[in-house]
Structure 1
Amino acid sequence: MNQDKDAPLREDIRLLGRMLGDTVRDQQGEAVFGLIERIRQTSVRFRRNDDRAARQELEGILDALSREQTIQVARAFSYFSHLANIAEDQHHIRRSRAHLIAGSAPREGSLAHALARAFASGHEASELAAFFDTAAISPVLTAHPTEVQRKSILNCETDIARLLDRRDRMVLTPEEREHSDEAMRRAVLILWQTRMLRPAKLSVVDEVANGLSYFDATFLREVPRLYAALEDQLAQRDPALGALELPAFLRVGSWIGGDRDGNPFVTAEVLERALAMQAAAVLGFYLDELHTLGARLSLAAGLVSASDALLGLAERSPDRSPHRKDEPYRRAISGIYARLAATHRTLLGSEPPRHAVAQAEPYLNAYELSEDLDILHRSLVANGSAALARGRLRLLRRAVRVFGFHLAPIDLRQNSDVHERVVAELLATAQPGTDYRALDETDRCEVLLTELATPRLLASPHVRYSDETEGELAIFRAARNAHLRFGKEAITNCIISKTDDVSDLLELALLLKEAGLLRPHEQALDVNIIPLFETIEDLANAPTVMDRLFALPAYMSLLESRERMQEIMLGYSDSNKDGGFLTSGWSLYKAEIGLVEVFAKHGLHLRLFHGRGGSVGRGGGPSYQAILAQPGGAVQGRIRLTEQGEVIAAKYNNPEVGRRNLEVLVAATLEASLLSDNAPAPRAEFLDTMQALSDAAFAAYRGLVYETEGFERYFWESTVISEIAELNIGSRPASRKKGTRIEDLRAIPWVFSWAQCRLMLPGWFGFGAAVKAWRATHPDDGLARLQAMYKEWSFFATLLSNMDMVLAKSDLAIASRYAGLVKDPALRDAIFGRIRAEWQDTIDALLAITGQKELLDDNPLLKRSIRNRFPYLDPLNHVQVELLRRHRDGHDDARVRLGIHITINGVAAGLRNSG
């Protein structure tokens, strides 16, 4: 049965692979094609049959490649990974549609499944509608230093995906099939002829433009459709709800243009540019939709009625065309268009591409535009044309409510050390002799609270401050201006990296006061102050820090202006780099439990912001399971989580895949909030066992990474970290400081580097040692306890499921070739030997607990996907190692560097969630 279901996937992969092969033959010649095909067949033979002779043959072929051949081989296998991704996405869409067409039970992660579960547990549709009144769900797009995909490549892939989708949904005539194949060949040719890598480093503005493409492709259209589907499903369940319209609980956020932590290129000017680019994108979308809507709603006054409000809109419209005199709906839309065009001119200082019929007054805010669209809606419903109101107009009305004139709220983020230095300089200048940084925590808080109680500002326009202080003050002033220009929803959050105490939050509050974003006399705060707890120690201290903060009446009075809601951000990436996979996951879980208790004590609303990456080593893994595995009370209908780098493209470049991922977030949040009471709390002995496992895993991980002499050198020599730092794949440097210390390295390139060499160390190291230590001290029931935890506790099961996936993507034979790059044989053998032993211990422990015979036995779909990909990844890894060897031996020409960068791109595409 599975064979039949997967047949279309295999057919698509063969089709795309054949077209790529034909393209290589046509463009590079028969010899290059023959070489690539020989490598492919040999690699497949080795992987599928574990043929040792095939492996030796493969290594011999690859070792003998010339530089030019190496580039062609790397490009071919990299592009095959890209094409395989397209085919897999299309297969997921195909299977989802097949289930819907067959009338199958709703699938896990869908809205229909979540609602069915809620109804089955006794919740009424009216209760669910009320749940969304206070819900807040937000995926937040971030750029990062390992984002490898160029927008031009993504555009090519989008074209190929559309052609595949058309072939899948339509029965084509022979002529249509021929035209489709020809179009597909053209698309693959363009992909082959498109430069895979950027010639220059990305600027922040480039990253903003890349981020905007996902709004155009997916969010602006699919978010309103998701709302409509949810409203319809609830209304069908309970007709008394009528034409239900839910509040805007799902919004897409962004860090791009506002994340200054370690990125000196994010300035006030860049923030302003990002906001303007976003506004231009959303206003352009609205104008296009209005233009189309005006063309469609050709309703004549003699044939349909119109409300007085609608007629008033039509009369106020500057549209005086005699051809539309008796078409009040068109005239009303022309007037709305004219006002929106004037808004474009006012906010952005430029005319929209398509001019209005005449001049009009601009809208003061998006709410005014929404009111005019509501007049159209109500008039259509009243005249018996509700079907028209439910079409394009319904989606446009929803888009305006969600995206406003700002498109996406941009979060501001900065490191607490920077805030501390800026506050210290402001205090020292305003009160000479003040040494703020020399004060202890208690005295710091006293000074800050004193300043927060007075409207007096510290900064003087007559003083020239350091560049850092001037830059920070300029950012907050730009945020204040953004509120006045685009509305307060343009910037709603300020995040403090490396938060470790109460003063860190009060320092940010003081800086917000300097820009008018906090007004003491009104006890008003215009943005959320959000601490980011990142290290293992900081996560452990988070509940205590927040408890002390909430004990301050001055801060609590500010929270009253934020509806008594406090957001907390949890750092998955840095806690993993700090303490390893198991301890990071457990520390996050415990921090959430502690925070839930503290917030309940103070009667506040908690919203958690999960700083997850794409890889398991950075908190990645399936979002649905991750949200459901949160401890009881941690979701409460409110959740934000980061969507990072190449994962954004994987999730949201295809509109249907994007819609599915958005649905998963909403469905999981609903289930975790309303149905978590049905799940039993973990047993006390489970918690004790988890702590023991964490302690042992932490010791093993820290012992290797931070306490082993020479480990830092091993890491830099055995991975592509040096080359990643040189690659033009992001606007931020790979390290926060100059040097090679692991402590200073950003978590993202740390994880990305281990993925490239197929070790995936941050996603599993320490687990084997932890289980071995536990079973040694509990010889009778140790394994049985772990097996019970896996069966009964979703948190533990999710940890092991994610580790299962990571281990399945690892390959010790390939990793050993990277280890061969380490110049000191003794260092290489000592460290790789420890890694190899722990890898085997971890797999043995995982299989024993889960009862699987092989990795991914419980996930056959992913198992097949990985098995099919490995024959195309192996040559890329082998080529990468050889190129790294040449590069580091002094063969530093452009072609060698190009080859390394192409293989980095290809391996990342093949692994899909590596950064």
Structure 2
Amino acid sequence: MPDELRADVRLLGGMLGQILTESVGEDLLDDVERLRSLTIAAYDEDGSASIEAAEALIESFSLERAEQVARAFTCYFHLVNLAEEHHRVRILRRREADTGAVSALNDDVQSAVARLRDEVGAEETARRIRALEFRPVLTAHPTEARRRAVAAAIRRITELLAERDVQAIGGITLADNHRRLLGQIDTLWRTAPLRSSKPSPLDEVRTAMNVFDQTLFETFPVVYRRFDDLLNGEDAGLVEPRVAPFVRLGTWIGADRDGNPNVTAAITKQAAAIANEHVLVALESVVAELGRSLTHDGDSTPGSAELTALWRTQTRMAEELTREIAVRSPNEPHRRVLLVVAERVSATRRRDADLAYRTSDELLEDLLVVQRSLVEARATRVAYGELQQVIWQVQTFGFHLAEHEVRQHSQVHRETLAEIAEHGVDGPLSERAVEVLDTFRAIAFVQDRYGVPAARRYIVSFTTSAEDLGNVYELARHALGEDADLPVLDVIPLFETFADLEASVGVLEEYITQPEVVERLAATERRLEVMLGYSDSSKDVGPVSATLALYDAQQRIADWAQRNNITLTLFHGRGGALGRGGGPANRAILAQPPHSVDGRFKLTEQGEVIAARYGDPAIAARHIDQVAAATLLASAPSNEQRNSEAAEAFAGIAAVMDTASRKRFFELVHSPGFPAWFAQVTPQEEVGLLPLGSRPAKRGLSINSLDDLRAIPWVFAWSQARINLTGWFGLGTALAAVGDVNELRRAYESWPLFSTMIDNVEMSLAKTDERIAARYLALGDREDLAALVLEEMALTKEWVLRTTGKDRMLANMRVLGRAVQMRSPYVDALSLIQVRALRSLRLDDNRPEEEIARIKRLLLITLNGVAAGLQNTG
């Protein structure tokens, strides 16, 4: 461990110990230390006695003491996580200071541009850069286990830790920092780890707004600036930027109603209004600040004729306001125009119709007038410096901040249309059918008020036919009337199950013949978006077959798009966990089939992933830089050739792995009684009790079926049981079926899809523990299924190591290996407490209700803590 990180962890851990002693007593710290020592000792050569001693110690705890110990370990994980993130930021900033780049690891934009220039030339590289698109879509899928109050305490501790890096800190200042750190850790310890109730959709919206306010609004233009520095070199900031703003933020929060009855038409309108308020407050602030600082006088920096005309327009619009501003800025033409612009942004937020901008394009044009005038007066530093920053922010966020994407299940549409056919649109429709129609009215309202981009995408989950997509347009006509102007709709199919992926091209072929789609293709230069679901396909056929099926579907869809002159954007519905398509985004992009990226990448970002990738400005900039670099390089001729040749060369291996892994997966999940057993040996039912988000954990699930169990609790439950089955199950059997180690190693060296899958599985397996897993599996009454899981785990570990040629997991992933190794004993402690709680609930039905409630609370606290320790949920 690096010395600085080790020092931070020791500092924070020591402070936590002090707080435990002060708040509860030395005996609590003693119990924590005894348990910690036993779980660490369990990693010695023969640690079975230590782990059994740890179990005995936990059994001796009262429920109150078990809860205190669980909370202590959870707090420790929060502190370790923030220390690691702080160290990552520290390294990023030093690297940037030393090299002038976000990265020096050959996976950044600078390296990508250099390689592209070598392969396709400078002119083609410039064209590709101008066409670059990255569309992260924030979702409210409930995978962030931390309370917002806990996250706030962590942020304050991080800020205090950063203070200590300042060279000059010492003496009284250092003592004060130490005191405040102890105070914040005390707050973290005393803050209830569990939400008292599920957050509402609007709570989720406001949580996302925190990320925008603290990071995204400022970070996106910083990324553009670095990109432009690369392209324009020493002229950057003095000449017109050569990079277009390429990040467009999307959101499902407050708009995704698939299986979530809490998201209504009214909620969607409120979500759009909240986003509008936040972006206008931010824009008003930056425009006003720039206006106040733009004190260039008219003699040194005369206004252009265009600027003078704009001032006259502003004067006619608001005589009193402009008179007052003119007095304060008597010979500062650019300053006075920008101050009026700031007042107009404020009026837009207040909905003052006399002064408000109708669209963000109007605001943008006023800013461009000021910029052109400054350039004409040769004041290019401010024109292409601070002012360009604001222009990029307007271009990126508009007045809507993020594109609200509505999602609904195809079956809901079909049932609503059946009701309308029976009763008429004005007849006695069900509450759900009325809500479906109200959704389209809400879309029309949001577009009218905040602009078309605010809500034009409509995603149909579980798309099985072109009719499922056409139903959206039919419902819109029913909702708004045949003679009304319909809102602009880009209807996006979401292919999720294996069967839907297989049928995707046929569905799309029919879809683009529908009149509404023909019209949209003509209006958008034949742009079309298709979404792929990673979670349900993996739950459907297992992670190996799902990975191969998704690659194959992307290749077929990309080929179809080329044949039909379609500008395709594939939307990747990835989760944070490896079982839901997670893992390093940049490597995943580079492993995509030829022509499936073409400079455009879109994916879902959710739960703990949002905080991890976008919570800190330096990390957010690094993430976007990596994704942008990979998106550019994915379409480099050498990368496309490599993927194409590898897919062809290893098609035989892929077929063997597909068949073998799927058979093995079905052997487990199609076994009679599997759903009930799964609920016994994991905290699957209890996950649904954890108030993570507004979305229910199930779509009306019966425990006799997994079909309607959402992918998140499916993944979350297996990860809590230290099995992580959704990330690897079936791969060992698949690799063993191939059998040829040399051929597998050749595939690992030269097949990006395969090497990415193997490395992701290696990360997943590193967080498993067969000793702990066995204790969860013992909670069930099916030794055959328990043995099947443990055998496949051992087989997969064996064959992953044989394929990679390593002697242990994560042998060449130093940072991740360190993190896993450091956390594992502490996670074990929480897992053993969780097993105790589960065993009490599963095997003893005669406890008083009050005691059962206490046990459930203990269990939920351990769910929270293990999630913090493993750093992923669903």
Is TM > 0.5 for Structure 1 vs Structure 2?
A: yes
**Which deviates further from its counterpart, 15-24 or 317-326?**
317-326
2:343 maps to 1:338: yes
Q: Secondary structure at the match of 1:47?
A: coil
- The one-letter code sitting in structure 2 at the alignment partner of 1:127 is E
Indicate how the Cα distance of structure 1 residues 518 and 141 shifts in structure 2: closer, same or farther if over 3 A, else same: farther
> Which amino acid letter does the alignment assign opposite residue 264 of structure 2?
T
Residues 1:901 and 2:864 are matched in the alignment: no
Q: Which residue number corresponds to residue 376 of structure 1?
A: 370
The 1:239–1:60 alpha-carbon spacing in structure 2 relative to 1, beyond 3 Å, is closer
Q: Tell me, in whole angstroms, the C-alpha distance in 1 between the residues paired with 2:633 and 2:649.
A: 26
For the 8 Å contact 1:612–1:643, the answer to whether it is kept is yes
Stretches of structure 1 lacking an aligned partner (at least 5 in a row): 348-358, 431-458, 776-781
The offset of 1:552, in angstroms, is 5.3
Question: Residues 20 and 385 of structure 1: is their aligned pair in 2 closer, same or farther, counting only changes over 3 Å?
Answer: farther
Displacement of 1:224:
1.2
Structure 1 residue 720 corresponds to structure 2 residue 687: no
Closer, same or farther: CA 384–172 of 1 in aligned 2, 3 Å: farther
The alpha-carbon distance between structure 1 residues 62 and 806, as it changes in their structure 2 partners (threshold 3 A), is same
- Does residue 763 in structure 1 map to residue 727 in structure 2? yes
Counterpart secondary structure, 1:752: helix
Q: Following TM superposition, by how much is the alpha carbon of 1:618 offset from its aligned partner in structure 2, in angstroms?
A: 0.3
How far off is 1:784 after superposition? 2.1
TM-score, structure 1 as length reference: 0.90
Say if 1:139 and 1:251, in contact at 8 Å, map to a contact too: yes
- Which residue in the other structure is 2:155 paired with? 158
Cα deviation, residue 314, structure 1: 4.6
Q: Could you give the per-residue CA deviations for residues 296-323 of structure 1, whole angstroms, max 9, x where no partner exists?
A: 2233445543333334445535143334
Aligned to 1:665: 627
Task: For residue 515 of structure 1, report the CA deviation from its aligned partner.
Answer: 4.9
Contact 1:572 1:610 (8 Å CA) reproduced: yes
Deviation at 1:49, TM superposition (A): 6.0
The CA deviation string for residues 698-729 of structure 1, in whole angstroms up to 9 with x for no partner, is 111011112x1221121101111111111211
Any residues of structure 2 matched to 1:129-140 within 5 Å, and which? 129-140=126-137
1:250 aligned residue: 247
Contact 1:517 1:526 in 2 (8 A): no
Distance 1:186 1:202, change over 3 A: same
Shift of 1:878: 0.7
Assess, with a 3 A threshold, how the Cα gap between structure 1 residues 50 and 204 changes in structure 2: closer, same or farther: farther
1:553 to partner: Cα distance: 6.4
Structure 1 segment 181-260 matched on structure 2, within 5 A: 181-236=178-233, 242-260=239-257
Q: What's the counterpart of residue 417 of structure 2?
A: 423
Q: Tell me how large the CA RMSD over aligned residues is.
A: 2.3
> Could you say what secondary structure the match of 2:459 adopts?
strand
Aligned letter for 1:80?
Y
Task: Check if 1:813 corresponds to 2:813.
Answer: no
Instruction: Supply the distance in 2 between the matched residues of 1:683 and 1:254 (Cα, whole angstroms).
Output: 34
Report the secondary structure of 2:650's partner residue.
helix
Give the distance between the partners of 1:170 and 1:45, measured in 2 at CA: 38
In structure 2, the partner of 1:456 is none
More moved, 359-368 vs 10-19 = 359-368
Aligned AA (1:365): T
CA contact (8 A) 1:158 1:653 kept: no
Cross-structure match for 1:733: 696
Gap change, CA 1:550 and 1:330, over 3 Å in 2 = closer
Q: CA deviation at 1:208?
A: 0.8
Conservation of the 8 A alpha-carbon contact between 1:480 and 1:515: no
Hey, what's the Cα distance between the residues in 2 that align with 1:133 and 1:225? 17
Task: Tell me the equivalent position of 2:539.
Answer: 577
The alpha-carbon deviation at position 9 of structure 1 amounts to: 1.2
Residue 580 of structure 1 aligns with an amino acid whose one-letter code is G
What CA distance in whole angstroms lies between the structure 2 residues aligned with 1:202 and 1:173? 42
Change (3 A) 1:512 1:130: farther
CA distance in 1, matches of 2:190, 2:154: 13
> Which residue number in structure 2 is paired with residue 789 of structure 1?
747
Q: TM-score, normalised by structure 2?
A: 0.94
Greater mean alpha carbon deviation, residues 810-819 or residues 680-689: 680-689
Q: Which residue of 2 aligns with 1:779?
A: none
CA contact (8 A) 1:257 1:266 kept: yes
Report the more deviating stretch, 18-27 or 127-136.
Answer: 127-136
SS at structure 2 position matched to 1:168: coil
> C-alpha distance in 2, partners of 1:712/1:77?
31
Distance apart, 1:528 and its partner CA: 1.4
The CA deviation string for residues 357-388 of structure 1, in whole angstroms up to 9 with x for no partner, is xx951101001111122223233333343323
Query: Within 5 Å, which residues of 2 pair with 1:860-871?
Result: 860-871=814-825
The answer for the alignment partner of 1:799 in structure 2 is 757
Task: From the superposition, tell whether residues 320 and 557 of structure 1 become closer, same or farther in structure 2 (CA, over 3 Å).
Answer: closer
Structure 2 residue 693 is the aligned partner of structure 1 residue 690: no
Q: CA deviation at 1:192?
A: 1.6
The question of whether the paired residues in 2 share the 8 Å contact of 1:338 and 1:360 is answered with: no
Alpha-carbon distance, 1:237 to partner: 8.4
- Indicate yes or no: 2:833 matched with 1:879: yes
Say if 2:456 is the partner of 1:471.
no
Deviations 1:500-522 (A, max 9, x none): 112111112222344569999x9
Question: 3-state SS of the aligned residue for 1:569?
Answer: strand
In structure 2, the residue matched to 1:913 is: 872
AA of the residue aligned to 1:77: F
SS of equivalent to 2:351: helix
Residues 339 and 361 in structure 1, CA contact (< 8 A), matched pair in contact too: yes
Q: Quickly say closer, same or farther: Cα 1:374–1:32, change in 2 above 3 A.
A: same
CA 1:595–1:486 in structure 2 vs 1: closer, same or farther (change >3 Å)? same
Paired residue for 1:433?
none
Aligned residue type for 1:263: N
Contact kept? 1:525, 1:562, Cα under 8 Å: no
User: Do the aligned partners of 1:525 and 1:558 also contact (CA within 8 Å) in 2?
Assistant: no
Distance in 1, matches of 2:261 and 2:515, equals 36
Cα distance per residue 1:335-368 (max 9 Å; x no partner): 1122112211228xxxxxxxxxxx9511010011
The 2-side partners of 1:55 and 1:539 are apart by 45
Deviation at 1:196, TM superposition (A): 1.6
Could you say if the C-alpha distance between residues 44 and 87 of structure 1 is closer, same or farther in structure 2, counting changes exceeding 3 Å?
Answer: same
Matched letter for residue 504 of structure 1: D
Pair 1:518–1:178, CA change in 2 (3 A): farther
Contact 1:235/1:241, CA 8 A, preserved across alignment: no
Partner of 2:457: 493
Structure 2: how far apart are the matches of 1:554 and 1:98? 53
* 8 Å contact from structure 2 (residues 5, 83) kept in 1: yes
- Contact 2:364–2:394 under 8 Å retained in 1: yes
Q: CA deviation at 1:116?
A: 2.6
Aligned residues: 856
Say if 1:650 and 1:912, in contact at 8 Å, map to a contact too.
Answer: no
C-alpha displacement of 1:245: 4.7
1:744 counterpart = 2:708: yes
Structure 2: which 5+ runs fail to align? 316-320
1:770-790 deviation digits (Å, cap 9, x = unpaired): 222332xxxxxx222222111
Alignment pair present for 1:36 and 2:32: yes
CA separation of 1:170 and 1:308: change in aligned 2, threshold 3 A: farther
- Which residue in the other structure is 1:454 paired with? none
Q: Contact 1:314/1:329 (CA < 8 Å) preserved in 2?
A: no
Name the aligned partner's letter for residue 564 of structure 2.
H
- Provide the secondary structure at the position in 1 that maps to 2:323: coil
Q: Which amino acid aligns with 2:861?
A: I
